[in-house]
Amino acid sequence: MISEDFEIDFENKKIIYVPKVSGREFSVRELYSYLQDVFNEAGNMKYDIPIEAESKTKYFLVNGWTIDVKARKRLKGGSLEVIDRPESQRFTVTVVKPDKPRKNPLNAPKLPMVPKGY
């Protein structure tokens, strides 16, 4: 469960990976949903929301929030970019690991085999 592997430091605006239970990878979209749920709770509405979505796979950390390196390495299936920092502190995590392994990586159609000598 993502809530058991990620912690939110509200005062320092940091998202931290602390593998307590699952130790598994999460999609960037799962992180987005989790953060939206956490910041939608009554006690957390006083804090700036840390993440925005541009699409189903492209997200931005905003309002001065950052995410630690361990957490970045546990994300898959999208990109996460910090945009509201000085140039020297910006980073982009482009995660190319698919959510599910592709059986047919070239998306080639399944064609019947042509007999030899045809």
pLDDT, average across residues 66-79? 86
Spatial separation of the C-alpha atoms in residues 51 and 53, rounded to whole Å: 7
DSSP state of 110: -
Partnered with residue 59 across adjacent β-strands are: 53, 80
pLDDT confidence tier of residue 73, bands split at 50, 70 and 90: confident
User: pTM score, two decimals?
Assistant: 0.72
The answer, yes or no, to whether residue 118 has pLDDT greater than 60, is no
The answer, yes or no, to whether residue 117 has pLDDT greater than 70, is no
pLDDT (0 to 100) of residue 97 = 52
